[in-house]
Amino acid sequence: MSQLNILMVGCGKMGGALLGNWVKSGDVYAVTDPALETAPPQTDLVRDTGDLAGRTFDVIIIALKPQLIEKVMPAYATMLGEDGYVLSMAAGCSIERIKAVTGGAPVVRVMPNLPAAVGRGVSAICASNDASDAHLAHTQQIMDLTGTSITVDDEDKIDRFTGVAGSGPGYIFEFARTFVEAAVDLGFDQASARSMVLETMAGATEMARASDEELASLRNSVASKGGTTAAGLDAFNGDGAISERLNATVKAAYERALELK
């Protein structure tokens, strides 16, 4: 696919994280978001919808909160070119709902996560039946600039993905925050505690990524019987409470994604 003209409607933290990598594709980006003071690098910031009069785009990206979709998007529906498509990253917002406010245009939904900001995101992609192979290929191309992506064949899978990977960084950050607090309570200063925790998490993750062993086996390789790790693990999840809490966490996020449809 040749160079495309793309309009991003809204540009919050997630949109900005993705856009910083997407501009590497060579496509031409315009962004409209009243909250932005300056244009993201290599993009054209449009302050008012009227400034887009007469312009058409090959792709319109929806980077809005789901609650704003019906209020904002109808004004942009006529700006999509004849062979264009809508790419939506609005969490939980169904293809049917997007089509209703964009004149029935082909839609590709993506569910990214925030580590896309550093090129380590993981994203799910789901296309409407009328989206072309070219539409899907373009989405896959730009999402792969932000990390890795998977393509799923129905929207329920993308909503389930939201509960695990889309919201997942928030769970990881919260775990890290409480882990750091525990290290501080043991007498370490904040900076040392943060470094120890994050480097330990990064190292363990890289070890798991490089290994074919089951995660339980890797866990057991650290936990000698009667040793310090075994004592810690017993206090951490010996009663299964953490397993239950994490399962409830993922389900709550998934159920919220369904509510947002």
- CATH number where 196 lies: 1.10.3730.10
* Claim to verify: residue 252 and residue 220 sit in the same structural domain: yes
CB 58 within 8 A of CB 35: no
Lookup: tokens for 175: 């775990």
pLDDT interval class at 42 (50, 70, 90): confident
Lookup: tokens for 218: 């890797």
* Claim to verify: residue 76 and residue 193 sit in the same structural domain: no
Distance CA(89)–CA(13), nearest Å, equals 12
Q: Tens of pLDDT along 120-174?
A: 999 999 999 999 999 999 999 999 999 999 999 999 999 899 999 999 999 999 9
* Claim to verify: residue 113 and residue 177 sit in the same structural domain: no
Position 85: which residue type? Answer: Y
Average pLDDT over residues 30-46: 85
pLDDT surpassing 70 at residue 243: yes
Question: What is the structure's pLDDT at 1?
Answer: 54
Q: Which three-class secondary structure string do you get for 140-166?
A: HHHHHCCEEEEECCCHHHHHHHHHHHH
193: containing domain: 168-259
**Last residue within a domain, chosen from 105, 136, 162:** 162
* Claim to verify: residue 41 and residue 153 sit in the same structural domain: yes
* Confidence (pTM): 0.85
SS3 131: coil
* Claim to verify: residue 154 and residue 172 sit in the same structural domain: no
**Structural domain total, the chain:** 2
Direct distance between the N- and C-terminal alpha carbons of the chain, in angstroms, rounded to an integer: 31
* Claim to verify: residue 42 and residue 153 sit in the same structural domain: yes
**Last residue within a domain, chosen from 162, 188, 214:** 162
What is the Cα 57 distance to its own chain's centre?
Answer: 24
* Claim to verify: residue 189 and residue 110 sit in the same structural domain: no
Listed in sequence order, the residues at least 6 apart from 255 whose beta carbon sits closer than 8 Å to its beta carbon are 163
SS3 9: strand
* Claim to verify: residue 112 and residue 176 sit in the same structural domain: no
CB 23 within 8 A of CB 6: no
